Amino acid sequence: MEIEAYEGESIAAALYAIGIDVFSYSSKLGRPRGAFCMIGKCSSCFMVVDGVPNTRTCIEPVRDGVRVERQKGLAPVPSEKTVDGSVEPEEVLETDVLIVGGGPAGLSAALELARYGLNVVIVNEHFKLGGQLVKQTHKFFGSKELFGGLRGFQIAEMLSEQLSKYDNVKVLLQSAAYGVFRGGWVGVASRNKLYRIKPRAVIVAAGATEQYLAFPGNDLPGVMGAGGAQTLMNEYGIKPGDRALVVGSGNVGLIVSYQLLQAGVKVEAILEIMPQIGGWFVHAAKVRRYGVPILTSHTIKAAWGRERVEGATIVRVDEKFQPVPGSERDIECDLVLLAIGLAPDTRLFAQAGAVMRWIPELGGPVPIRTRRLETSIPGMYVAGDASGIEEATTAMIEGRIAALAIASKFLDGERAKRVEEEMEKLLDFLWNEYRASPLLARARAGKEKATVSEEEMERLRKEHPPLVSFR
Amino acid sequence: MVLESVPTYRRTGIVSVEELKSLGLLPPEERLRKGPVAILECPEPIPCNICVDACPSGAIKMDRIVDLPRVDWDKCTGCGTCVALCPGLAAFVVDLSKPDKAYVTVPHEFLPVPRVGDEVWLLGRDGRRLGKGKVVKVWERNRTWVVTVEVPKELAMEVRAIWVER
């Protein structure tokens, strides 16, 4: 079948737009698989693209004549003939700072470093910069200085545009940093090419993954991350369905519900397992005004349907979060959107052998870091959701702090002092003003647990000698 | 967390007029009767001060970014700039100065955009349709439309959204 698509669209989005929502079949039971995260963090949309299996079609742009096939289970490794001819020789790059991730944290860090004349390479998995800002159509909180009042995608446009003015910033799109190696090398896999990069410092701002929930039918097409639906409707203008059930009433669940209403999707209900709403009141008020019920002390029991979601059974829970027998209720819907939290993408730190700790408030295992955001791998910094789930505004601040911490080391004399002062001011604002809000108490507590003094970090490094260093 | 200590609006997503009053977010009766005035339904300490910078009259104060907004009711002209710019869509303007009708100004981010003269549904904080009202003013800033509707006086503190039939 031949299909039309818009330039700049991902393959998965283009398929979804014409009603194709099964991308592959599972390897053991042959169950249909639909889109889930839509941002290249899961394996739901794997397809065979031009003969190459396991292609994440959600971050693969459409192009004329591209051949896309549904993948059935584990696909064979493509023959050399399939890929030969398009593979370019490896390239070795040296740079001051390598930034992994071109979202709010990564872009803010890059701008700060570029401003001080340092050479920067940004590695970005998506074919577009901006991370998840590009699908945020709501206005951001904060202050004027923090881009408050602007819509997320406008912030992405602004940061990308500012960055394009610097010729000391090199951007590698559709590229993934796959490993950190002895001698301070970072391996990067680009579309048709491998890079070996030797930076003097690394900032990992790889973002986060939407969390999954276990219930019967959770793999049916139509069960999606709330952010996945947000990508479809806000980034590509595709209505993800007609009737949605949203699981989770944190800010993501509430904001996505509002945006579903804007896209003309009926939101049947928002379920919240806790006895109170998770997100901020103003976001809840925005959906309540249009009649969306928020059912506290409720959760999903099962999703059902043949080739895709046709409905879900919900259930009330008691104080111990146990289902109350007899309280089940069926809701007809074609979307079940999970907004139950995010997990930091910290795979590079795990691979590098950084000292990490499981911190529930931050969504999973995160690298231990100093106030200046340096981890136990000397010269390897963390910023944004990868450092623990918070939100885009703090991600931008953290990106700048990591950048300034690095710049203060690489510059000398008077300039280094100025950079240091600027960083201290930002740190003070972040910890003592912004995070002073009781609404951010949980994330703040998590970030406190993950942050250690310089002395404690030295002790940790003695206890767990780093295998690699960028200093 | 002990449930009793949680304000009702955290369980329902609906703030009551009494709660707004006890948080100091409602203007006094006599000010409401004088003319249009902003009501910021912002009961939580969100780290945000957009309204403070937005207000052309300098009527909104906040010492720290995490404080609740404080409106100087005498300085506020009810111009509606905060309605357009509040990222939480939590700002409204209420005008109780006219003898037989009240006017409520709400943010609106849905298509279709209403036109002056349209009869639109009036929605309460819980989404209930409270009746229909006539649109008297519409303007836009960064894709947030600011819509003023005529409502029965007794609904001035209830109507917080509109819905335009497609």
Model confidence pLDDT, tens digit, residues A451-460: 999 999 999 9
Quick one: average pLDDT of A18-34? 94
Q: Nearest residue on chain A to B9, judged by CA atoms?
A: A281
pLDDT higher than threshold 80 for residue A188 = yes
Mean pLDDT throughout A170-184?
Answer: 97
- Residue A224 Cα to chain centre, angstroms: 15
Residue in B2, B5, B66, B86 to test binding to A, most A beta-carbons within 10 Å:
B66
DSSP string, A132-199: GGGG--SBP-S-GGGTTTSBHHHHHHHHHHHHTT-TTEEEE-S-EEEEEETTTEEEEE-SS-EEEEEE
pLDDT per position as a tens digit, A362-399:
999 999 999 999 999 999 999 999 999 999 999 999 99
Torsion of CA A71, A76, A77, A83, to 10 degrees: -60
Q: How confident is the model at residue A80 (pLDDT cuts 50, 70, 90)?
A: confident
- Would you state the pLDDT for residue B1? 45
Going by their DSSP bridges, the two strands B101-108 and B91-95 should be labelled as antiparallel
- Cα Rg for chain A, rounded, in angstroms? 22
Q: How far apart are CA A237 and CA A348, in angstroms?
A: 33
Tokens of A372: 């200046």
pLDDT of residue A130: 98
Q: Does A237 touch chain B (CB under 8 A)?
A: no
Q: Is residue A82's pLDDT more than 80? A: no
**Is A85's pLDDT higher than 80?**
no
pLDDT score recorded for residue A70 = 95
Report yes or no: A234 and A366 within 8 Å, Cβ to Cβ.
no
- What is residue B4's predicted lDDT score, i.e. its pLDDT? 56
Q: What is residue A323's three-state secondary structure? A: strand
A275 to B11: CB separation less than 8 angstroms, yes or no: yes
Q: How far is A400 from A105, CA to CA, in rounded Å?
A: 7
Q: What is the predicted pLDDT for the residue at A283?
A: 98
A vs B: CB pairs below 8 A: 128
- ipTM exceeding cut-off 0.95 for this assembly: yes
Task: Please state the pTM of the whole predicted model.
Answer: 0.96
- Per-residue pLDDT of A231-281, as tens digits, reads 999 999 999 999 999 999 999 999 999 999 999 999 999 999 999 999 999
In this prediction, residue A225 has a pLDDT band, given cuts at 50, 70 and 90, of very high
Separation of alpha carbons A381 and A363, rounded Å = 19
The encoded tokens of residue B150 equal 């005529």
CA atoms of B78 and B74, how far apart (whole Å)? 10
A84, pLDDT greater than 80: no
Flag residues of chain B having pLDDT under 70: 1-4
Residue of B1, B106, B109 to mutate for A, most A C-beta atoms under 10 A: B109
Q: What is chain A's mean pLDDT, rounded?
A: 96
Residues A284 and B13 sit within 8 Å (Cβ to Cβ): yes
A288–B125 C-beta distance less than 8 A? yes
Q: Is the pLDDT of residue A143 over 90?
A: yes
Q: What are phi and psi of A157, to 5 degrees?
A: -60, -45
Q: How confident is the model at residue A77 (pLDDT cuts 50, 70, 90)?
A: confident
Q: What is the pLDDT of residues A401-418, one digit of tens each?
A: 999 999 999 999 999 999
CB contact under 8 A, B46 and A140: no
Full set of structural domains in chain A with CATH: 11-83 (3.10.20.440), 91-209+345-463 (3.50.50.60), 212-340 (3.50.50.60)
Percent of chain A's residues with pLDDT above 90: 95
- DSSP E strands in A205-310: the ranges are 208-210, 223-225, 243-247, 266-272, 294-296, 298-304
Percent above pLDDT 70 for chain A: 100
Per-residue pLDDT reduced to its tens digit, A333-344: 999 999 999 999
